[in-house]
Homo-oligomer: A and B are copies of this chain.
Amino acid sequence: MSAKKEKHSWLSFGMLKPLDWLLLAVPAAFAIRYVPAWKNETLLFIITGIAIIPLAGWMGRATEHLSARAGHGIGGLLNATFGNAAELIIALMALAKGLTGVVKASITGSIIGNILLVVGASMLAGGMRFTRQTFNQTAARISATLLSLAAIGLIIPTIFHLAADRQPGGWSPQAERNLSMAIAAVLFITYIFWLVFTLITHKELFVGQGSGKGGRGGKEDPAWSVSRAITILVLATILVAFMSEFLVGSVESARESLGLTEVFVGVIIVAIIGNAAEHSTAVLFALKDKMDLSLGIAIGSSLQIALFVTPVLLFASYLFGPPMNLEFSLPEIAAVALAVWIVAEISGDGECNWLEGVQLLSVYLIICILFFFLPEPAHVQNGKSGTASRSAISQTNPEPSQPRRSHL
């Protein structure tokens, strides 16, 4: 395809992918939101969810093309920072509305979804085609160890709460927030070191991953001009922001009418929506026996969520919305720890097969079953945010001093 043809037809059919038919959901979402006769919270929730999927995909592709243009170093940095921009925007919206429980649940869900669902589906798909697939063992082990570090960072605040609670007056929300802030800083700085490692000192270990982590197959499209990439990125970001605002605004009502708990929505649904575009790319790479790229997308995305997005959200929460902390509920911690454990075992030997994909999907299924059966936390049931302080760890950790504005 020549550049001439692209100039003539800016949004040529050659650029559209099958997922893009879902873009029809975007105008539909606006309609449902603003036309009083059609206003339906549950439908809005579903439609905006659907709309975000292709938009996230476009944001990713634009980032990828921009990275390719910018060169390896800056490009990798771009990918590493904006690779999860869609999840970040959704989470910021939820944070602004005080839905810290949903924010934490979606962090958990993104991490688990990437390393279990995406990697599992990729290994299974690739394993149907190839008896045995290999990938760079050193890169995989370092990524898995960083995931363990991230899991440790998410476990320690809850251990602090459990231990400090045994002393009267030993635990306070302020102490929890300070501890969380300190840990978030450590995770963030470690992420920067990770970037230095993958983009500068040991980039040869990650060379197969295009212009940096989270390559979304940029090599398969003809290169976009910088202006096109930026325009598409800005447009997509604005639309994702609107869709996120609608989505989060309708979460409460939709949740009740669909009979799902807040944690289930965060862990399963928000996570899948935000990651869907990456999901398909990772699976496609696996089918082409490029497990390095596949794992790079999935595990790299998890690392970005845990070591970059989570600290950024925590810092941002001090600017607007109730300050967040890193205290996750017991099921969330268990899910993350067990997921990281299994993934470290599977990726440790540099090869995989279809059964390992099945194993990861089985663990994901078991975790979904757990979150499906878990009841709604009291503070959400009653609308009384103070009730949660009765129990040391509630289902999702509320900020007891701030009432949830989205409660009825």
Q: Are B141 and A349 in contact (CB under 8 A)?
A: yes
Q: Are A351 and B138 in contact (CB under 8 A)?
A: yes
Across the interface, which residues of B come within 8 angstroms of A363, CB to CB?
149, 152
Q: Mark A332-347, 1 if CB is under 8 A from B, else 0.
A: 0010001001101110
Checking B141, B168, B183 against A348 with a beta-carbon cut-off of 8 angstroms, the contacting residue is B141
Q: Are B356 and A142 in contact (CB under 8 A)?
A: yes
Across the interface, which residues of B come within 8 angstroms of A241, CB to CB?
none
- Evaluate whether A145 and B342 lie within 8 angstroms (CB atoms) in the complex, with A153-B366, A334-B155 already known: yes
Q: Mark A350-387, 1 if CB is under 8 A from B, else 0.
A: 01011110110011011101100111111001000000
Does A164 make an interface contact (CB < 8 A)? yes
Closest to A190 in B: B362
Across the interface, which residues of B come within 8 angstroms of A193, CB to CB?
355, 358
Checking B138, B183, B341 against A148 with a beta-carbon cut-off of 8 angstroms, the contacting residue is B341
Does A194 make an interface contact (CB < 8 A)? yes
Across the interface, which residues of B come within 8 angstroms of A202, CB to CB?
131, 353, 355
Q: Are A163 and B331 in contact (CB under 8 A)?
A: yes
Checking B145, B152, B342, B391 against A149 with a beta-carbon cut-off of 8 angstroms, the contacting residue is B342
Across the interface, which residues of B come within 8 angstroms of A142, CB to CB?
353, 355-356
Within 8 A of B (CB), among A86-112: none
Q: Are B373 and A164 in contact (CB under 8 A)?
A: yes
Does A179 make an interface contact (CB < 8 A)? yes
Q: Are B141 and A369 in contact (CB under 8 A)?
A: no
Closest to A198 in B: B355
Across the interface, which residues of B come within 8 angstroms of A329, CB to CB?
163
Interface of A is mostly: helix
Q: Are A160 and B201 in contact (CB under 8 A)?
A: no
Q: Copies of this chain, how many? A: 3
Across the interface, which residues of B come within 8 angstroms of A153, CB to CB?
366
Residues of A in contact with B, size category: 35 or more
Q: Are B148 and A375 in contact (CB under 8 A)?
A: no
Q: Are B179 and A369 in contact (CB under 8 A)?
A: yes
Q: Are A375 and B170 in contact (CB under 8 A)?
A: yes
Does A178 make an interface contact (CB < 8 A)? yes
Does A159 make an interface contact (CB < 8 A)? yes
- Shortest CB-to-CB span from A319 to chain B, Å, is 23
Report how far A99 CA is from B197 CA in the complex, Å: 44
Report how far A195 CA is from B249 CA in the complex, Å: 47
Does A269 make an interface contact (CB < 8 A)? no
Q: Mark A11-53, 1 if CB is under 8 A from B, else 0.
A: 0000000000000000000000000000000000000000000
Across the interface, which residues of B come within 8 angstroms of A167, CB to CB?
375-378, 381, 395
Q: Are A159 and B373 in contact (CB under 8 A)?
A: no
- Shortest CB-to-CB span from A257 to chain B, Å, is 21
Which residue, A160, A202, A342, has most C-beta atoms of chain B within 10 A? A160
Does A166 make an interface contact (CB < 8 A)? yes
Across the interface, which residues of B come within 8 angstroms of A393, CB to CB?
166
Does A295 make an interface contact (CB < 8 A)? no
- Shortest CB-to-CB span from A147 to chain B, Å, is 10
Closest to A339 in B: B152
Q: Are A362 and B186 in contact (CB under 8 A)?
A: yes
- Shortest CB-to-CB span from A297 to chain B, Å, is 20
Does A162 make an interface contact (CB < 8 A)? yes
Name 10 A/B residue pairs within 8 A (Cβ), A-sorted. A142-B356, A145-B342, A148-B342, A159-B334, A163-B329, A163-B331, A166-B391, A183-B366, A186-B365, A189-B362
- 10 new A-B contacts, CB < 8 A, other than A148-B341, A186-B362, A197-B355, are A148-B342, A153-B366, A159-B330, A163-B395, A168-B378, A170-B374, A175-B373, A179-B373, A197-B353, A197-B354
